[in-house]
Amino acid sequence: MIEPGSLLRSLSGRVTARNFHSHVINELGAGVISGRFPVGSILPNDAALMDEFAVSRTVLREALKTLEAKGLVEARPKVGTKVVKQSRWSLYDAQVLAWCLEAGPDEEFLRGLHNVRHALEPQAASDAASHHSGDQIRLMHYWLRQMELALNEPQSFCLADFELHRIIAEAARNPFIRALQGVIELSHALAYRTIVHEQHVVDLTPVFQKHYQLVGAIERGLASEAGLAMTATIEQDVQMAIDFPPSR
């Protein structure tokens, strides 16, 4: 389990696993997503993996159970642990999405990611305009202010940007939209990763202004305007990912 914002905080460098269990999960999970362990293949046997990662059988088995719960592998009696097809992967799981970012998602994945955001986040903004609480509006303004203060600090800016979207999803009062948290964070990571990692000088004022308009529409209860404003912020993320592709 990773905390909200962990993926964005890792943009300036890969986060080291906290323990052997986490290390095994990360290495095997990333290996599946990247294709090091192709779909349909059988993972090396327990003895080989225990030797590779220098862990006990107990640690290894618990790590494999975690990966099975995420839909990446399945244990088959007398066969071993098999990598399953992508359609079974838990793509709303934040850790799985982090591995997708590390591996470099393909065009089909990116298209699906953006389509999901376009389908659901504008609705979240519209619902938030109708259902927000006073505390949620105060939090939205807080994160807007953090964006404004971080116009010259891309990593802090993108964290505040994500937190603002997360509060809007909460204000929508829809558990299925709330479950998009990992998708939203991955989209922000894709938009900002090159800017943060390579320390590009970028004018983030237009991004701030779009979010300012978004919060204003939500605060005034303008559901239709809020939905359109959210669509504009999503399109900004897509364009930033295009304008600043990762270095090869």
Q: What is the pLDDT of residues 75-129, one digit of tens each?
A: 998 899 999 999 999 999 989 999 999 998 899 999 999 999 999 999 999 999 9
- Find the distance separating the first CA and the last CA of the chain, reported in whole Å: 29
Residue 3 — very low, low, confident or very high, per pLDDT cuts 50/70/90?
confident
Given 3-state DSSP classes, what are the helix, strand and coil percentages for the chain, each rounded to the nearest 5? 70, 5, 25
Q: Are 8 and 162 in contact (CB under 8 A)?
A: yes
Residue spans of alpha helices (H) in 18-106: 20-34, 46-53, 57-69, 94-103
Residue 13 — very low, low, confident or very high, per pLDDT cuts 50/70/90?
low
Q: Give the three-class secondary structure for 155.
A: helix
> Hey, which residues does 151 pair with through a beta bridge?
none
If you average pLDDT over residues 6-30, what whole number do you get?
81
Q: Are 90 and 73 in contact (CB under 8 A)?
A: no
> pTM (2 decimals)?
0.87
Span of 16-25, 62-71, 205-214 with lowest mean pLDDT: 16-25
Radius of gyration of the chain (CA): 20
2, pLDDT greater than 80? no
Fold of 105-243: Four Helix Bundle (Hemerythrin (Met), subunit A) (1.20.120)
Nearest to 142 by CA among 209, 223, 220, 215: 215
36, pLDDT greater than 80? yes
- Please report how the helices 154-171 and 107-131 are oriented relative to each other, as an axis angle in degrees rounded to 10: 60
Task: Report the residue count for the chain.
Answer: 248
Which one-letter amino acid corresponds to residue 98?
A
Average pLDDT, the chain: 93
Q: Are 147 and 164 in contact (CB under 8 A)?
A: yes
Start-end of CATH 1.10.10.10 domains in the chain: 6-88
Residue 245 — very low, low, confident or very high, per pLDDT cuts 50/70/90?
confident
Fold of 6-88: Arc Repressor Mutant, subunit A (1.10.10)
Q: What span, in angstroms and rounded, lies between the C-alpha atoms of 166 and 159? A: 10
Bridge-based pairing state of the strands 80-83 and 73-76 = antiparallel
Determine the pLDDT at residue 199. 80
55, pLDDT greater than 90? yes
Residue 12 — very low, low, confident or very high, per pLDDT cuts 50/70/90?
low
Start-end of CATH 1.20.120.530 domains in the chain: 105-243
